[in-house]
Chains A and B, each alone.
Chain A
Amino acid sequence: MADLEQFRTEIRGWLEANCPPEMRQPVEDEGDVYWGGRNAKFKNDAQKAWFEACRDKGYTVPMWPKAYGGAGLSPAEAKVLREEMARINARPPLSSFGIWMLGPALLHFGTEGQKQRFLNEIARGEIRWCQGYSEPGSGSDLVSMQTFGEDKGDHWIVNGQKIWTSYADEADWIFCLVRTDKENKYQGITFMLFDMAGDGVSTKPIKLISGNSPFCETFMDDVKVPKSYGEDIPAYVGEINRGWDVAKYLLGHEREMISATGGGDRASSLGAVTSRKGTLDPVLRAEMALFDVDALSFTAMSEKFLDEVKVGKGHPAQPNMLKYAGTELNKRRHELLMAAGGSQALEWESDETENGKPARSWLRTKANSIEGGTSEVMLNVIAKRILELPGA
């Protein structure tokens, strides 16, 4: 414990010296998030300085080993870093699907060569990744996906279409589920990695009800994917035809991640925040109070879940419950924010709302309970794996 306290003192000093004041503000919009990648641009010098300071210490991915660009922190040390960053409202220095998704998959399933190359690129913000899972005909029933890679000896020729690929139009590489055996549903999928700058890959942003386009359609038209990028660097994670294992592992990870952030900013009471702008109608106040009860309770649940994960307690399917409850809560939160905001919250194009922030955020939350497994799929999983109710 004494060591941890010393570590805390060190971190505090380091943050004081290295985190610019501009980076100690809440993230307001997309531009405030640095995603890295070949074409990345910094919004300002402070963002650049903060990112580079963290990158050089391995703090973009604090728990990854030093050899792969991380800081090699223990879970307890990483918690101290998180707490100290939260204390000064420090923004994350780098956000990416490489950190959240591909990284954990490689740490679990990757070869040493893959880890050396791809994890370092991710940690240093050099390559921006996107995720190619869903297809137009394969949403909740993901395993029915059809994108096909024809085996040509030392390479595949990939054809097909992915959908809901987040920021595919800005990504450099894609980790993509590709069918490599049409006869074998679950054991016929390969988790491939390839460069999107190659011939035959094209993307088209999808305009959402929020007016924003965070997701794309991604088309693969005779894309040549080599089976290897060098010694001990296969172009696929895990084994050929066993990509579903990797995908399932990552889905669990994704649900955990979504559930950890699902309830949004729960530190402050929604009723307290919204009532500052004017008195709440009595029934709305009552709804706010009931929401705050649920939100504060969910915060305790998240805390309990994270505490239990650290010591290997808790049911392995528990993230599904957190994902379900957290995302439903966040949708409710934004319904109440819209109600409290009145006609101002309706303004789509105005300075006062910074071009419709409340409405766009409200609409965005509707995807919370769809992406990463719908609420209905989560309930199916809880019913079967936790309650062990009989299969239909």
Chain B
Amino acid sequence: MPLYYDDDQAMLADSASDFIREEGAIAKQLRHWRDRDCKDGFGHGLWEQFGEMGFTGILLPEEDGGLGMGQVEANIVLEEIGANLTPSPFLSSSVLAATALKHGSNDTRGRWLPDLVAGKNVYAVAIDEGRKHRPETIACKAEKSGNGFKLSGKKDFVVYGASAEMIVVAARTSGSDSDADGITLFAVPQDASGMSHDSVRLVDSSMASHITFDGVELDGDAAIGEVDGGRDILNAVLRAGRVGAAAEGVGVARGAMDMTVDYLKQRKQFGQLIGSFQALQHRAAHLYSEVEIARAVTIKAAQLLDAGSEKADLMASVAKAKVAKAAGLAVKEGVQMHGGIGMTDEYDIGLYMKRDRALQEFLGDMYYHAGRVADLSGY
């Protein structure tokens, strides 16, 4: 498969770009909700529009009301979300939770998917326990109780958790904390008794929850897929989420770089445009190279994922790590090259730096994924 968009994908990219640039613009969404201290951290109106566009069900098969598309297409939407810093539950709901729910029974899918596709419901995914991403270890416990389960433990960094009508929770149903097997994913409804949220605003103005499960009673059919057989589903969720987060990061990098290169063409000092200074030209050109390469490997990883390639897992980590490097460079160079104005809240470049920071951490940072590349490569 060639490493560029086919005609349908190019059309999707055009319409996603136009739509999100217009409706998801920084002033219209990120600043709007932030400045009103919105407890959701995103706009439900835009989420409904995502539903009208079909984006909400982009990864879901047509029989579930989705568009039946793949990771490449989801990434196209995510890159535009990144470039416009659009606060959106798309990654959590339509990529991570949707990937999990695809493995659910007819009943599970019938219960949760229609409202997701309609842009009515938002779903979250609870994986992390503790301050770093360590999905290899899962201590949160779901014990058999009657016909169902009783869930106890703590989850952290549950993005948009407090706004979610349902949370996909990775819990241990057998074995010890660091066993690969013995994991089950559960669809936990918002109103489950015994679940409490501590919702916190993050540096990028998004919201994330610490969730405590205190003997939460779940029906037997809350399990997504086989009991004890959730590791494969969790891995599929992680792969889709990481490649998706990489695409959003490419968008953040692109947005920050475009803004910075524009600034170099406007700002004058010493009587000339600062973009004519070679000291800045070389740094901008290096940045361009890094962002292009990060974009290429992200498309590659998405294609491999869609093709079901055995290399997809490795390349998901390569993409996440490479994008972290490139986007980190883009936002840091962005603020520095803007000079003093880059430090002001009024100017958008700082918002890119904040979003990048949160995205770096989500589903594993550069250090985690570079280490994973070494592990998977056998050294």
Contacts and interface: CB of A to CB of B under 8 A. Distances in A.
Contact of B264 (A280, A389, A392): A389
A286 to B, nearest CB: 7
Contact of A272 (B3, B300, B319, B379): B379
Chain B: interface residue count, which band?
35 or more
Contacts of B278: 380, 383, 392
B318 A296 contact: yes
Interface in A302-336: 303-304, 307-308, 310-311, 313, 321, 324-325
A300 B299 contact: yes
Interface stretch (A32-40, A45-53, A244-252, A287-295): A287-295
A297 B374 contact: no
Interface string B348-379: 00000000000000000010011101100111
B261 A289 contact: no
B347 interface: no
Interface string B109-130: 0000000000000000000000
A244 B105 CA distance: 68
Interface in A65-105: none
Q: Is the interface of A mostly helix, strand, loop or mixed?
A: helix
A331 to B, nearest CB: 15
B285 A387 contact: yes
B132 interface: no
Interface string A231-271: 00000000000000000000000000000000000000101
A382 B280 CA distance: 12
Contact of A389 (B275, B294, B373, B378): B275
B77 to A, nearest CB: 20
A361 interface: no
Interface of B: 2-4, 261, 264-265, 272-273, 275-278, 280-282, 284-286, 288-290, 292-294, 296-297, 299-300, 314-315, 318-319, 321-322, 325, 366, 369-371, 373-374, 377-379
Closest 6 CB pairs of A and B: A383-B281, A382-B285, A275-B379, A304-B3, A297-B297, A300-B300
26 contacts: A269-B377, A271-B379, A274-B379, A288-B374, A290-B321, A290-B325, A292-B373, A292-B374, A293-B366, A296-B297, A297-B319, A304-B3, A311-B4, A321-B289, A325-B290, A379-B285, A379-B286, A380-B281, A382-B289, A386-B288, A387-B284, A387-B285, A389-B280, A390-B265, A390-B273, A391-B276
Given A311-B2, A325-B290, 6 more contacts: A271-B374, A303-B3, A307-B2, A311-B4, A324-B286, A379-B285
